């Protein structure tokens, strides 16, 4: 594993947003090594097995995120993309507004076709997606929380979410402002409980094409940081400590629910800006399932109406 070895040696345990590659002129919080490996990151990347290693746990505890390569093969990615498209066509034709009280975000693709840009609870609408959540390696991640009652949020929060970003005039979703995912507990009137958000990336995405930006180490700085570091969903301004992720389709990332992050808009327009990624929460604490009768929470409305 070249990637791993090379990155680990450089990595000082602090991802400070500085670019270690002198020949790289990008200001994107992470670096490409002179175009050699577009997917190189200045932090270590790992392989997800049934059980986490001490190194993986240590990295996550310190930084609040972790990146695993090739969680699913490319053929599986293609199967998931096809399945999502079939479900999209059904939701568009039936004009569904919400799933379990979570607003569905619609937009228009480059070819003028109406598309779903944010699905929720996809696992409840497809066996193929439900089965992704049954992968035994996901249970290995529970250790990052350590609570006895950890579970995959199949019917909690927003279930399995599928985000489809594209940068065009008719798109309604090309970016996502600064936020933490744990804020939703407050809107739900719940105590903030440890949670993880697990991302399964379905497009190759390098930092020069927008994408996920996170601020390492902001997950354990206390409630004031969690509430007030940025203006939730409104602020999009790059942070000098943010780190962008270079991911390949099939990679898996995990971030702590309290970690500050955003999705940067691609500087490109059209096909090149397309980015699709699924998220499923790993939760603990009180079981709060959502059902057909659930009403949208304020934060869910915010995501629905902002981030064009």
Ligand X SMILES: O=C(O)CCC(=O)C(=O)O
Q: Which residues here bind Fe ion, judged by CB under 5 A?
A: 181
Q: Give residues 59-78 in contact with ligand X (rule: CB under 6 A).
A: none
Q: What is the phi/psi pair of residue 40, to 5°?
A: -70, 145
Q: Is residue 263 at the binding interface for ligand X, with CB under 6 A as the rule?
A: yes
Residue 1 or 227: the one with the smaller Cβ distance to ligand X is 227
Instruction: Report how far residue 68's alpha carbon sits from residue 158's, in angstroms, rounded to the nearest whole number.
Output: 23
Query: How is residue 289 annotated by DSSP?
Result: B
The closest alpha carbon to 26, from 167, 174, 204, 207, belongs to 207
Instruction: Report the 3 state secondary structure along 162-218.
Output: EEEEEECCCCCCCCEEEECCCHHHHHCCCCCCCCEEEEEECCCECCECEEEEECCCH
141 binds, among Fe ion, ligand X, none (CB under 5 to 8 A by kind): none
* Least spacing, CB of residue 181 vs Fe ion, in Å: 4
Torsion of CA 58, 225, 162, 188, to 10 degrees: 120
The one among 71, 232, 279, 299 contacting ligand X by CB under 6 A: 279
Q: Is residue 163 at the binding interface for ligand X, with CB under 6 A as the rule?
A: yes
The one among 277, 280, 283, 304 contacting ligand X by CB under 6 A: 277
Residue 20 or 221: the one with the smaller Cβ distance to Fe ion is 221
Q: Is residue 257 at the binding interface for ligand X, with CB under 6 A as the rule?
A: no
Q: Give residues 182-241 in contact with ligand X (rule: CB under 6 A).
A: 199, 212
CA angle 27, 211, 75 (to 5 degrees): 130
Q: How many chain residues touch ligand X (CB under 6 A)?
A: 10
122 binds, among ligand X, Fe ion, none (CB under 5 to 8 A by kind): none
Instruction: Report how far residue 2's alpha carbon sits from residue 45's, in angstroms, rounded to the nearest whole number.
Output: 10
Residues that bind ligand X (CB under 6 A): 161, 163, 176, 181, 199, 212, 261, 263, 277, 279
């Amino acid at each position: 594993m070249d990637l791993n070895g090379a990155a680990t040696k450089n990595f000082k345990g602090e991802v400070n947003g500085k670019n270690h590659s002198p020949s790289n002129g990008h200001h994107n919080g992470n670096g490409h090594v002179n175009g050699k490996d577009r997917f190189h990151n200045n932090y270590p990347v790992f392989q997800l097995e049934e059980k986490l290693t001490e190194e993986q746990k240590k990295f996550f505890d310190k930084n609040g995120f972790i990146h695993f390569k090739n969680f699913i093969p490319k053929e599986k990615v293609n199967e998931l993309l096809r399945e999502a498209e079939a479900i999209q066509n059904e939701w568009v034709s039936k004009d569904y507004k919400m799933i379990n009280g979570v607003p569905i975000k619609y937009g228009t693709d480059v070819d003028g076709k109406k598309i779903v840009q944010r699905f929720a609870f996809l696992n409840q609408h497809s066996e193929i997606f439900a089965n992704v959540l049954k992968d035994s390696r996901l249970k290995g991640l529970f250790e990052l929380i350590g609570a006895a009652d950890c579970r995959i949020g199949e019917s909690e929060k927003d279930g399995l979410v599928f985000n489809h970003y594209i940068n065009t005039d008719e798109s309604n979703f090309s970016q996502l402002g600064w936020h933490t995912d744990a804020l939703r507990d407050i809107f739900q009137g719940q105590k903030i409980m440890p949670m993880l958000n697990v991302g399964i990336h379905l497009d190759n995405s390098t930092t020069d094409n927008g994408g996920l930006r996170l601020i390492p180490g902001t997950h354990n700085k206390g409630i004031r940081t969690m509430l007030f570091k940025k203006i939730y969903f409104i602020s999009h301004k790059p942070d000098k400590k943010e780190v962008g992720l270079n991911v390949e389709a099939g990679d898996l990332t995990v971030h702590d629910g309290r970690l500050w992050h955003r999705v940067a808009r691609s500087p490109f327009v059209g096909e090149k800006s397309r980015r699709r990624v699924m998220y499923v929460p790993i939760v603990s604490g009180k079981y709060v399932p959502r059902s057909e009768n659930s009403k949208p929470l304020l934060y869910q409305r915010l995501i629905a109406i902002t981030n064009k």
